[in-house]
Amino acid sequence: MSHLILVRHGQSEWNLQKRFTGWVDVELTAKGKLEACKAGELIKEQNINLNHYYCSYQKRAIETLNLILNTLRLKNNSVVKAWEFNERSYGSLTGLNKEEMIKTLGKKKVQEFRRSWNIAPQPLNKKNPYHPLNIEAYKDIPKNLVPDTESLKDTYERVIPYYKKNILPLLNENIIIAAHGNSLRALCKYIFDIDNTKISKLEIPTGNPLVLTYENKKLNNVRYLDRERAKDLIIF
């Protein structure tokens, strides 16, 4: 038996402010740090001996994973950072307040941008300070791969090839991935074979470990460790 643990980072400063974050590199809030520590405690209760640790390039995922590993008393010098697990780029919506954009664009349009499969916002101007090209953390990513905007489909097309190449071969061991709402939605779409319509209903809560249990690399159980904050997985 082996486990793949997926954790969306704890609440970030821009989550709290209800802003479209995407690739902007923001910090965890105090609540987000507590969520990460609680995630570590929940994993600890399962007595799962983790073998591999992955996260995105973004500090909110990095810090979440570090807090989990610290809670588990594990050294974090073996963490693999993969930009492919970064949050989806929200293009021209980046930095804007979600509630204000509902007033401007309407609830239906904003929901399309947030949850649809293949609708992307307008591209973000490359001169904008929020553009990933202008963020130091991403300087080693090939410029032609840095997005101006993305749909969930675009996010899927970078997450899944990385997963197939680097994670699938390890599914006979215990793995944790700390990432983001949309990169994890993309991963869940693939793992659970969720169709293009139903994926809009999938929500990933912050800081709540989703544990996938495998027998001989075949999935046989899925559960959130914090049942009070679990979301409907819409997979069975």
- Domain ranges, residue 18: 2-89+153-229
pLDDT given for residue 234 in this prediction: 57
- Give 196-214 pLDDT, tens digit per residue: 989 988 989 999 999 999 9
Does a structural domain hold residue 69?
yes
Does a structural domain hold residue 15?
yes
- Give 41-52 pLDDT, tens digit per residue: 999 999 999 999
* Confidence band of 235 (pLDDT split at 50, 70, 90): low
- Catalytic residue among 35, 87, 131, 180, which? 87
Give the list of residues 6+ apart from residue 144 with CB closer than 8 angstroms, or none.
none
pLDDT given for residue 230 in this prediction: 72
Q: pTM score, two decimals?
A: 0.94
- Give 134-174 pLDDT, tens digit per residue: 999 999 999 999 999 999 999 999 999 999 999 999 999 99
Number of helices followed by number of strands (H, E) in the chain: 7, 6
Q: Does the pLDDT of residue 61 top 60, yes or no?
A: yes
- Indicate which CATH number applies to the domain containing 15: 3.40.50.1240
Does a structural domain hold residue 216?
yes
Does a structural domain hold residue 12?
yes
Residue 9 is among the residues annotated as catalytic for this protein = yes
Q: How many domains does the structure of the chain reveal?
A: 1
Q: In what helix (H) or strand (E) does residue 8 lie, and over which residues does it extend?
A: strand 2-8
Q: Chain centroid to CA 129: how far?
A: 22
Does a structural domain hold residue 58?
yes
Does a structural domain hold residue 179?
yes
pLDDT given for residue 236 in this prediction: 44
- Catalytic residue among 9, 84, 131, 180, which? 9
Does a structural domain hold residue 168?
yes
pLDDT given for residue 227 in this prediction: 83
Does a structural domain hold residue 76?
yes
